[in-house]
Amino acid sequence: MKRSMIGRSGALTVAAALTLGGLAMLPLGAQAMGRDTVQSFYSTLLSTMQSGRSLGGRGRYARLEPVVRQVFDIPFMTRLAVGPEWASLNETQRQQVTQAFESYVAAIYAERFDSYSGESLQVTGEQASPGGTIITSQIVKSNGEPVNINYLVRQNGGTWQIADVYLDGTISELATRRSEFASILRTQGINGLIAMLNNKAAVLAARL
C-alpha cells in the first residue's frame, strides 16, 4: 500500500463549500448509514489488495471503478474540484470532466492499494458535522503504524456517499485536487484538464 500524497492548500475553501451545501446535525441512524458506506468501500479495498499482484493494475482498476462510482459522490466532488470554472462549462464538458475525474479517482486507489502485507482497514467512529457526517477510520500498516483517515459522507438522492477524504483528520484530498486543477485550467483550459485526468488514469491503471 502506498501513502497518499496530499497537500494543505485550499482546504478552507472546500470546507466552506461543503458546509454551505451540506446538512445540519444528523440523527444516529443517518450516521450509521454513512459508516456502512465507508465500511463497504474498505471491504472492497481489502479484497483488492489481497489479490493485488495477480490482478495487476488493470484488474485492480476494473474491480474498483464501479465501486468508486457507487460510494463516491463524483459529480459533487468534480464540481468543487473544478471550482468557479464549472459555471462556464457546457453540459458535454461537465460530463466529460466528471467521467475523467471518476476514472482518475479509481486509478489512484488501484495504484495506492496495490498489494497486501498484513494491513488492516478499520472504521473507528462517526460524528455529525455541518457538511454531513464525518466517518473516522485507521489504516494500520503491517508494521503497526496507524494512518488516520476521515471521510465526509453526505446524502445524495437517498444514498450515502463519500464527498471528501481527509488524511490525518484535516488534510482535504479534494482541496488539493482543486489547487492542482486550478493551475491546469489557467494554462490549458478544460480540455487540458480532461486530457490530463484521462492520461494519468490510463498510466496508473496500467501499472503492475
Spatial separation of the C-alpha atoms in residues 4 and 20, rounded to whole Å: 27
**Is residue 33's pLDDT more than 80?**
no
CA-based end-to-end distance of the chain? 13
- Nearest C-alpha neighbor of 52 from the set 42, 40, 41, 64: 64
**Does residue 1 lie in a domain region?**
no
* CATH code at position 84: 3.10.450.710
- Please provide the average confidence, as pLDDT, over all residues in the chain: 85
pLDDT of residue 113: 93
Rounded mean pLDDT, 12-16 = 38
State how far the alpha carbon of 177 is from the alpha carbons of 101, 106, 117, 171, 183, in Å: 10, 14, 29, 11, 10
**Does residue 3 lie in a domain region?**
no
pLDDT of residue 1: 62
**Is residue 28's pLDDT more than 60?**
no
Q: Please list, residue by residue across 141-158, b when 16 or more beta carbons sit within 10 angstroms of its beta carbon and e when fewer do.
A: eeeeeebebbbbbbbeee
Provide the number of structural domains found in the chain.
Answer: 1
**Does residue 2 lie in a domain region?**
no
pLDDT of residue 208: 60
Tell me the residue range of the domain where 164 lies.
11-206
Dihedrals phi, psi of 129, to nearest 5 degrees:
-145, 165
**Does residue 177 lie in a domain region?**
yes
Confidence of residue 197 (pLDDT cuts 50, 70, 90): very high
Using DSSP, state whether 81 is helix, strand or coil.
helix
Share of the chain above pLDDT 90, in %: 72
Confidence of residue 92 (pLDDT cuts 50, 70, 90): very high
Instruction: Read off the DSSP letter of residue 43.
Output: H
Spatial separation of the C-alpha atoms in residues 59 and 54, rounded to whole Å: 8
**Does residue 5 lie in a domain region?**
no
What is the tens place of the pLDDT at every residue in 161-183?
999 999 887 889 999 999 999 99
What is the tens place of the pLDDT at every residue in 131-168?
889 999 999 998 999 999 999 999 988 889 999 999 88
pLDDT of residue 47: 96
pLDDT of residue 42: 96
Please identify which residue in the block is written with the cell numbers 490549458. Answer: 188
User: In which element (H, E) is residue 2 found?
Assistant: none
**Does residue 44 lie in a domain region?**
yes
Confidence of residue 23 (pLDDT cuts 50, 70, 90): very low
Confidence of residue 5 (pLDDT cuts 50, 70, 90): very low
**Does residue 6 lie in a domain region?**
no
Share of the chain above pLDDT 70, in %: 84
**Does residue 110 lie in a domain region?**
yes
- Nearest C-alpha neighbor of 7 from the set 180, 197, 185, 135: 180
